Amino acid sequence: MKPYVLLVEDEEALATLLEYNFQKEGFETSIAIDGEDALLQAEERTPDLIMLDWMLPKLSGVEVCRRLRRRKSTAKTPIIMLSARGDETDRVTGLDYGADDYMVKPFSMTELFARTRALLRRVSPTLLQDIIKLGDIEVDTKALRVKRADNAIHLGPTEFRLLDHLIRNPGRVFSREQLLDAVWGRDIYVEARTVDVHIGRLRKALKMPDRKDPIRTVRSAGYAFEAVND
Amino acid sequence: MKPYVLLVEDEEALATLLEYNFQKEGFETSIAIDGEDALLQAEERTPDLIMLDWMLPKLSGVEVCRRLRRRKSTAKTPIIMLSARGDETDRVTGLDYGADDYMVKPFSMTELFARTRALLRRVSPTLLQDIIKLGDIEVDTKALRVKRADNAIHLGPTEFRLLDHLIRNPGRVFSREQLLDAVWGRDIYVEARTVDVHIGRLRKALKMPDRKDPIRTVRSAGYAFEAVND
DNA sequence: TATAATTGTAATAAAGCTGTCACAAATTCA
DNA sequence: TGAATTTGTGACAGCTTTATTACAATTATA
């Protein structure tokens, strides 16, 4: 659904400012106040983007960056480093250790988002796309609309998020637990079988004569979205 | 329709920044990375405005400018030159060769758009029209008037701003919080539910027999304006 | 100043969505 | 084949979200 950015910044004022602006741009956000916190949070939920301050308590930004790169889950996650110092040495060091871009404080939010967009467009374009199309199915994430073969389809919020998640990872099989985490949220407890019911509702909503079911059931594993006819 | 700006800029960061800001101002954009590319693109679709970097690979900005002026289709198209150098000589050269305005890098986006507006107002005022039309609904942002199917509709200030905001972003779903930010202002605190009431008033005011409600409710998400019959 | 228009809130009604269960159907495996 | 496991689906109660109304307070207008 929304791209998730981890903001690693110990200065509270800047962290809040970043949070506010990223949320306005449609990101989900989380703040880490030091390097250790950052590593923990990144492990718990893999971010789609990391904003990483250079100067941090406990672990330096560079060190955090190196460790993030060593982990499989975050090896390719886009990282933008923030630094008060702007000299070339720092820039080079930051980029050497695996940051994708570099901003010198103070910076304009406009420029930050221009760069963010550029970076995400390069690395994971589906995150920025408003309209995701697969086969004859179309999901418009800005307008929150779904179409199949140009027919508008009405979905409830949960079915929408479910479809959104599945269609962004076509072919991949998700267990019920994974779907609960991704669609319902980590801290919400509902029966795993509830997923079945929503999958059923989604299937029913997407059903059209002469078109095959885009959702595949993988017995004793979960569900997956399949590219479809057309 | 939206005005179309051709951004001729080889430096990627700046090009992205410009693109982002022009899009935010409601322009359609295209980027050309060198002079030849610019001439090709301008031929394919005549821009309403051209931002032209002075220093370009292959063909210089001045040369591009001269050639654009020689073509009938772009002879009068407004051109703003961008240059790193700010001395008078360049300025004169640029303007001599037919640029309409001239900005020295680095420049503020605010100033750029102030000049852009001034230029477009002078050359092609219709592009900056204050009247937004969508389907059978017409919003005159200067005169603060609204019509539907040629019937004048009276709205209170808040409903007007609400409609104005929604109609400028047709299809897009806004949460109540986003609407409060955009319509009421960031620092004003009112209940999120108040939005519902104003949406209701707006709907009532826009209601006409045999015409459907242009405002879509998206459950657990917000509201969106939809293109309508006619 | 009196009158009208506009605004935000709260209360209530209406609509829509969700999660669970029970049982049917399908699939697997011995 | 038959038992066990897994999945599909309809029903439904409870819950959440939205629409609408009324009203008091504020602001504009004559």
Domain CATH number, residue B175: 1.10.10.10
Residues B147 and B220 in one domain: yes
Closest CA to A119 of A133, A102, A132, A97: A102
**Containing H/E element for A218?**
strand A215-218
Please report, for the domain that includes residue B22, its CATH number: 3.40.50.2300
B123 and B147 assigned to the same domain: no
Are A9 and A123 in a shared domain? yes
Contact by Cβ (8 Å): B50, B94:
no
Do residue A114 and residue B16 have CB atoms under 8 angstroms apart?
A: yes
Question: Are residue A135 and residue A66 in the same domain, yes or no?
Answer: no
User: Is residue B50 a part of any domain in this protein?
Assistant: yes
Is the dihedral angle over the CA atoms A147, A153, A154, A157 positive or is it negative? negative
Whether B200 sits with its Cβ under 7 A from any strand D atom: the answer reads yes
Is residue B120 located within the same domain as residue B9?
Answer: yes
| Half-sphere exposure (Cβ direction) of B143: Cα atoms closer than 13 Å | 12
Query: Is position B185 within any domain?
Result: yes
Neighbours of B116 (CB within 10 A): 23
> A103 and A148, same structural domain?
no
- Please report whether residue A230 resides in a domain: no
- B178, HSE (Cβ side, Cα atoms, 13 Å): 16
One domain for residues A153 and A83: no
Type of residue at B154: H
**Residue-range definition of the domain harbouring residue A144:** 131-225
pLDDT of residue A35: 93
Instruction: Measure the CA–CA gap between B186 and A125, rounded to whole angstroms.
Output: 31
Residues of chain B with pLDDT under 50: none
Q: Sort out which chain B residues have CB atoms less than 8 A from A118's CB and list them.
A: 12-13, 16
- Under-70 pLDDT residues of chain A: 1, 85-96, 228-230
Domain count, chain B: 2
Which residues of chain A are within 8 Å of residue B19 when distances are taken between CB atoms?
114
Is residue A63 assigned to a domain? yes
Six-digit token string for B87 = 């001395």
Angle at A22 between CA A18 and CA A27, to 5 degrees: 145
Of B104, B128, B152, the last residue of a domain is B128
Indicate yes or no: CB of B12 within 8 angstroms of CB of A156.
no
Q: Do A110 and B220 touch (CB under 8 A)?
A: no
Other C-beta atoms closer than 10 Å to the C-beta of B173 total: 21
Subunit contact A157:B12, Cβ cutoff 8 A: no
Provide the CA A190 to C1' D15 distance, Å, integer: 15
A91-150 pLDDT, tens digit each: 556 566 778 888 877 777 777 887 888 788 777 777 777 788 888 999 999 899 999 999
What's the CA–C1' distance between A15 and D23, in Å? 43
Average pLDDT, chain A: 87
Question: Does A214 sit behind a cis peptide bond, omega within 30 degrees of 0 on the bond before it?
Answer: no
Does residue B106 share a domain with residue B73? yes
Q: Could you tell me the distance in Å between the CA of residue B191 and the C1' of nucleotide C13?
A: 20
Q: Is the shortest CB-to-strand distance from B203 to strand D under 7 Å?
A: yes
Q: Residue B35 is encoded by which pair of tokens?
A: 């002079």
β-partners of residue A138 are A133, A147
* Mutate: best of A17, A20, A108, A110, partner B, most B CBs <10 A: A110
